[in-house]
């Protein structure tokens, strides 16, 4: 089946109307567009033992968002992209939304193009990029299978496969724009995967980038039981 073509009308000088046809991005094009913003995230304790591993997405210069449950047990944070690793510093967090912002420098990464989670529709094609089971920059494809209301926004339910380590990665639309932060999987069912809306991540990054912001002095205090097996309140 041929991809559906979109029609774009362009008004040229002199009033001539030219109609151009364009097609949605291929998965390869989405990956090329989005992958430079996706990183690996590690958390280590004071003895440098790895106690957390997941993914992250750059949403602004030097600022990435990940899930708090990825790094909550750590005191030292490390971020990687392809063959390079750099230390990172916690800048802000929102435990209710399970989102944390880290500052990282020295990596060959670029902020993601930000999409609009408010326009997401059930049935549209989406792509998840992250580090499932430690496999860096893994692309998976699916559709939006539901939109689940929560306090302050809607979680995006998707069939794009996720695994342990996908937490904190990016969910992208068909043009490689970031629409969500992959957050959790409902393991009691099949292919029930969820992402937090991108506007939560952007708002938290703006808070972290305010002039004079040095990051929180207190460690992350997560709700009891918030671990990789944590059951999200949306599912209770």
Tell me what the pLDDT averaged over the chain comes to.
85
Phi, psi of 83 (to 5 degrees): -100, 5
d(CA 182, CA 193): 8
What average pLDDT does range 200-206 have in this prediction?
Answer: 96
pLDDT of residue 171: 98
Confidence of residue 229 (pLDDT cuts 50, 70, 90): very low
Q: In this model, does residue 51 exceed pLDDT 90?
A: yes
Q: Are 10 and 18 within 8 A, CB to CB?
A: yes
Q: How buried is 114 (Cβ within 10 angstroms: 0-12 exposed, 13-18 middle, 19+ buried)?
A: middle
Domains of the chain: 38-110+203-211 (2.40.10.10), 117-199 (2.40.10.10)
What average pLDDT does range 108-127 have in this prediction?
Answer: 97
> Encoding tokens for residue 25?
């991005």
Q: In this model, does residue 62 exceed pLDDT 60?
A: yes
User: Which residues are designated catalytic?
Assistant: 69, 98, 167
Q: 0.85 exceeded by the pTM?
A: no
Chain segment 118-146, per-residue pLDDT in tens: 999 999 999 999 999 999 999 999 999 99
Q: In this model, does residue 222 exceed pLDDT 60?
A: no
């Amino acid at each position: 089946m041929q991809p559906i073509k979109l029609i774009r009308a362009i008004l040229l000088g002199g009033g001539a109307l030219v109609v151009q046809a364009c097609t949605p991005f291929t998965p390869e094009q989405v990956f090329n567009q989005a992958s430079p913003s996706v990183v690996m995230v590690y958390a280590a304790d004071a003895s440098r033992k790895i106690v957390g591993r997941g993914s992250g997405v750059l949403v602004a210069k030097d600022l990435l968002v990940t899930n708090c449950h990825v790094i909550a047990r750590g005191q030292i944070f490390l971020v990687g992209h392809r063959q390079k690793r750099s230390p990172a510093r916690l800048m802000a967090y929102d435990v209710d939304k399970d989102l944390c912002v880290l500052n990282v420098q020295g990596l060959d990464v670029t902020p993601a193009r930000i999409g609009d989670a408010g326009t997401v529709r059930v049935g549209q094609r989406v792509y998840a990029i992250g580090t499932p089971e430690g496999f860096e920059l893994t692309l998976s494809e699916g559709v939006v299978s539901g939109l689940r209301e929560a306090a302050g926004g809607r979680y995006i339910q998707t069939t794009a496969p996720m695994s342990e380590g996908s937490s904190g990665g990016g969910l992208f639309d068909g043009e490689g724009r970031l629409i969500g932060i992959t957050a959790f999987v409902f393991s009691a069912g099949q292919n029930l995967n969820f992402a937090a809306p991108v506007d939560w991540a952007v708002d938290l990054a703006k808070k972290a980038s305010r002039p004079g912001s040095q990051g929180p002095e207190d460690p992350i205090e997560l709700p009891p039981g918030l671990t990789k097996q944590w059951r999200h309140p949306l599912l209770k």
